[in-house]
Structure 1
Amino acid sequence: MDSLCRGIFAGDSRKLSVRSCFPILFQAERKFGSVLIGMVAGADAKDPRFTSRLIGQARQERWAQWSLKQGMQTLPEAMEQELRRRGVEIHLHSPVQALRQTAEGSWEVTLDGGTVKADHVCASVPAQVLSGMLPQSWDLLCGRLRQIGRVSVVVVNLEYQGSVLPVSGFGHLVPSRESGEILGVVYDSCSYPQQDRAGPQTTRLTVMLGGSWFREAFGDPDSVPHDHLLQRATETLRDHLGVTERPLRTIVKVHKECIPQYALGHWKHLDGISKFIDRLGLPLTLVGSSYQGVSVNDCIYQAQRSIEGLRD
């Protein structure tokens, strides 16, 4: 579980909430008195309203993971293209400065270049960021939002000439007792060989570092030298997999405060947020990774549930 928490949340299992991070396990134990019996009995059934041909195919073929031919970035790009085709107005590179509720109950959204009127706001920004946009007189709501912390993660992509892996598989995770800052390694060429470049064989690997241990190991995310991060990544591949070759290509990215942490009591924060919104009748819907799942799948599912709720 320690390694699993590091692989999904880049977080410390001693501080995270099972109820919030792994609700399927929590519900199985609550309903059946046993996690294993609950999983066998199907305690993880999804909402039957949400289905599609693709979901049916994934269940039938028992997909363990999925990607897109040109990478995950094509998902938001396709969404933008479709929304523009439908006439939706999109403002890029326009950070929201403030959200103010008008006397009529609608919203006035303040951007860098002016304001936008809205009947309803669906906020997908991190909870702590949203807390700075809302009226500070809503101290109960803003205080709850600020309690949902985040951690920074380094992602180092490396490409090597030929086949350099001594084993095959999705990858491996590293328990915190063995290394704090080294979270794990993904064997990209094993998982998705279709995304390897054309021509002579190469091996793509991804090393993940930091998380809850980022500042202790590397200091400030804004100032850590990328050369140092690359060195730690290549050392990891050498020590864990015996990869000693010089990489053909490397990409080092520091994703600052990118993964929310569902700490103990997270569900109480969500309950308090929901009650505040309901009590004031705010036309506000919270979606995104800060609340009920950090994965792409979770964010899509929760967003769809939220929008279906608005339509009802």
Structure 2
Amino acid sequence: MVESPSSAAPSSLKPSRQFQSRARLVVIGGGISGTSAAWTAAREAVKQELDVETLLLEKETVLGGKASAIREDGWLFETGPLGYLDNEPIVDELVRGVGLEEERVPASDASSHRFVFLDGRLKEVASHPVRFLASGLLSPRALLRAACEPFVRTKRDGLDESVWDFAARRLGRDVADRLIHPMVLGIFAGDAKRLSLPSAFPIMAELERDHGSLIRAQLARSRARRRGTLPPRRSSLFSFRDGLETLPRRLSERGSFETRTACVVLTVTRREEGFLVVLEGGASIPADSVIVASEGFSAASLLADAAPDVSQALAEISYPPVYVIALGYGAEAKRSIPRGFGALIPRGAGFRSLGVTWDGHLFPGHNAEDGLLVRVLLGGTFDPEIAKLDENAAAAIAEGEMQRLFALSVAPRFLRARLWRQAIPQYELGHGARVQLVDEALARTPGLFLAGNALHGTAFGKAAARGVACGERAIVWLAGRAPKK
């Protein structure tokens, strides 16, 4: 249920005192993590017959956070994440819980074709070994070095390691430079030499730790799947007919909690019994428990009083700017743009673009009639100056680079841009220690929980899973304090 601030004035909220009235849980942030937390907490409270009021506060006028779509003239422009992978079962549970199974849309088989711009042209990163060897992505010498990966000594010192250093150590510098560096740019808009491998790609660290080699790990997993001792690999891309924002909004519509949009939280303070959530305009809401599910930089400001150590740790996380530009072309573009997921563009290739996603190939419902929608990403760690450009200037860069990449001679029929001034949290070296510090500080602040994507995974599914976990933990914590119904 969504209410505007005027429909329930803050003055109507009486103090929530343990053992005297129903408990109150306040969730701050209406993206996928916050709505998942509120949905889960409300359901868990009912299951445990706890008298808990769950209230979600969102500063914007609509829910969704970076899961935000623009529908115009038949085009569907995802201004943030394009979809989610089905390797996070929690998302499937949420989808079923709010009855969205029929709205879910799988990506087409084009998603299996991915490209990188190398040596002046697009080259497909083939999954089949023979096609990969023949693709020209790597020189014979680089291929030979990568093939030696099973014989590389396993790292056992427990120290942090960058994504680039890990790839160079195990697979060689050519693989790290030509494949891993652009991949990290496409996922994090960040620098592979600064991002922490165990934090950004924990599965890679796990494979080396458990098997001593990435190649041996993949062979062992393949054997286990054939024997049925390991479930089939799940990595398919999904969205919804009206975009990713559908899920957080449906969670609010179907959830047994109150949602207030256009409600700006200034700070969270501790008091003798719980917390006080201070709103813009001077009003405040007492709470027994609080889940902060906003962006890390926002959470840092909100928690300066209630959890200063958490606040400081979150404030240290970098969020580079990213421009997302949508270009909708006519049918003629389909002759020039390969059918696939998209293309990564390494630094030094002569383009400002981090990469291009071919949304219309992946999700044909994003196209207007006889059209093809693509998105260009600009900015990131290596190009923070992009944030100084207005939307027209950024769109002009994207259009020009599309013309160069694909020899397009026609202008797009649809052109829109969205700047995220603080886009994706960077899990840089030392991130694991930061997570541990935050966990220890939260343990000293009973009733306070941190959701969102600042610490435990940037993807849509990871943020949802973190929200669900925090919703469950909040109800467990309240269980001994809230009166039974």
Query: Shorter chain as normaliser: what TM range?
Result: 0.7 to 0.9
The two structures, once aligned, show a CA RMSD in angstroms of: 2.3
Whole-angstrom distance in 2 between the partners of 1:143 and 1:136: 11
**Aligned pair 1:145/2:317, yes or no?**
no
CA contact (8 A) 1:287 1:299 kept: yes
Whole-angstrom distance in 1 between the partners of 2:220 and 2:462: 22
Q: Which protein, 1 or 2, shows the higher relative CO under an 8 Å CA cutoff with sep ≥ 6?
A: 2
Percent identity reads 24
Structure 1 residues 63 and 20, CA gap change in structure 2 (3 angstroms): closer
Whole-angstrom distance in 2 between the partners of 1:117 and 1:142: 20
**Aligned pair 1:75/2:247, yes or no?**
yes
Structure 1 stretch displaced more, 170-179 or 287-296: 170-179
Give the TM-score of the pair, scaled to structure 2: 0.56
1:221-260 per-position Cα deviation (integer Å, ceiling 9, x unaligned): 2x42222111110111111111221111111111110210
CA contact (8 A) 2:297 2:317 kept: yes
1:178-224 per-position Cα deviation (integer Å, ceiling 9, x unaligned): 25731101111111113322x4x1111111110112324x3xx2x42
CA contact (8 A) 1:180 1:213 kept: no
1:157-198 per-position Cα deviation (integer Å, ceiling 9, x unaligned): 01111141321101001112325731101111111113322x
- Secondary structure of 1:151's counterpart equals coil
Whole-angstrom distance in 2 between the partners of 1:96 and 1:277: 20
Whole-angstrom distance in 2 between the partners of 1:62 and 1:109: 40
- Alignment coverage as a number of residue pairs: 287
Tell me how far 1:136 sits from its aligned partner. 4.5
Which one of the candidate residues 376, 390, 403 is aligned to 1:225?
Answer: 390
Letter in 1 for 2:463: C
Aligned to 1:50: none
CA contact (8 A) 2:320 2:384 kept: no
Whole-angstrom distance in 1 between the partners of 2:473 and 2:277: 23
Tell me how far 1:35 sits from its aligned partner. 2.2
Whole-angstrom distance in 2 between the partners of 1:36 and 1:13: 21
Whole-angstrom distance in 2 between the partners of 1:286 and 1:108: 16
How does 1:2-13 map onto structure 2 within 5 Å?
2-13=181-192
Whole-angstrom distance in 2 between the partners of 1:302 and 1:78: 18
- Secondary structure of 1:261's counterpart equals coil
Whole-angstrom distance in 2 between the partners of 1:158 and 1:137: 44
Aligned to 1:192: 363
Letter in 2 for 1:92: T
Tell me how far 1:89 sits from its aligned partner. 1.7
Unaligned runs of 5+ in 1: 46-58
Whole-angstrom distance in 1 between the partners of 2:405 and 2:212: 39
Whole-angstrom distance in 1 between the partners of 2:276 and 2:221: 45
Larger Rg: 2
Aligned to 1:262: 427
Which one of the candidate residues 144, 160, 166 is aligned to 2:329?
Answer: 160
Whole-angstrom distance in 2 between the partners of 1:205 and 1:150: 24
- Secondary structure of 2:321's counterpart equals strand
Aligned to 2:271: 102
Whole-angstrom distance in 2 between the partners of 1:268 and 1:23: 14
Structure 1 residues 38 and 63, CA gap change in structure 2 (3 angstroms): closer
Letter in 2 for 1:274: D
